[in-house]
Amino acid sequence: MKGIAYLGPRGTYSHEAATIWGQRAGQDSFLACPDLPGVLAAVLQGQAAAAILPVENSIEGAVNLTLDLVLENPELQVIGEVVLPVHHCLISRAGDLATIREVWSHPQALAQCRHYLAQNLPGVITRPATSTAAAADQARQQPYLAAIASNFAAEVYQLPVLAAGIEDYPDNKTRFWVLGRENLHLPGPYKTSLVVAAVANRPGSLYAILKDFAAAGINLTRIESRPTKQELGEYLFFIDCEGRATEPPLREVLEGLKAKTSLLSILGSYARDGGGTSGR
């Protein structure tokens, strides 16, 4: 049975999100990939049934590469989402904090635990790693090293957790998109992701698009701009809204937008995640 492709190595937040989606989809096979294009390629080449990619983080913002990849591969659709709280742990084979000489992690994780490190490990060397999971693997090999990673990574690499919840922002979350060829039609409520571009770069063009959603009482849960990569000052708008694209009132709004946009692409309608079942 083809499984779920994710950004590796084992133990990343992407891996954890993939296991959560696997529980919902009834899949227990997973494929680690070296980069985000590779995650998507695994589905396109038939090696995996679905791909899970981080699309936004509550602190760092949008993952622009994911937005670009989704737009460049219209043969795949967004079939689901996973919202994962990011809870960092200090994990190590060291017996206590006093024996730790270096702390490794992804640069974002190091930055997100800056206050904890300053208060509890002052003067200890911090070193960047390609991922929190790669840092955990280093800590597994060297007893004087510690890694900042998830409790999930600690279980994968069988490392003791010396301190949990060390992040500076306790409400940090990462949202992942699940991409595939066929929707699973899980229980709702549903949301729809789409990308639009205005007919012309003129005053009020974005308002002309958005006002129809407001008039229909449709809540927009996210809007993100990306350059078209053609002309300076021209943008695409990625929009998430409540409802299914094939059902009213969203169906009528989308039909009306065809005359107001130079691009209107439905990326997918899928069951909404409630906001955290267990981040990047």
Dihedrals phi, psi of 20, to nearest 5 degrees: -65, -45
CA end-to-end span of the chain: 26
Q: What is the pLDDT of residue 279?
A: 35
Q: What is the pLDDT of residue 276?
A: 45
Catalytic residue among 19, 30, 66, 176: 176
pTM recorded for the entire structure: 0.90
- Cis preceding linkage at 9, omega within 30: yes
Q: What is the pLDDT of residue 275?
A: 53
* Annotated catalytic residue 213: no
Residue 167 C-alpha from the chain's centroid: 18
Q: Which amino acid is at 246?
A: T
Q: What is the pLDDT of residue 213?
A: 94
Encode pLDDT of 49-86 as tens digits: 999 999 999 888 889 999 999 999 999 999 999 999 99
Q: What is the pLDDT of residue 182?
A: 86
* Annotated catalytic residue 174: yes
* Segments of the chain with pLDDT less than 50: 276-280
**Cα(209)–Cα(275) distance, integer angstroms:** 27
Encode pLDDT of 226-259 as tens digits: 888 877 777 889 999 999 999 999 999 999 998 8
Q: What is the pLDDT of residue 211?
A: 92
Q: What is the pLDDT of residue 207?
A: 85
Q: What is the pLDDT of residue 278?
A: 38
Q: Give burial (CB, 10 Å; 0-12/13-18/19+) of 49.
A: buried
Catalytic residue among 132, 174, 192, 261: 174
Dihedrals phi, psi of 65, to nearest 5 degrees: -60, -40
The tokens of 109 are what?
A: 């994780």
The residue written with tokens 């490190």 in the block is 117
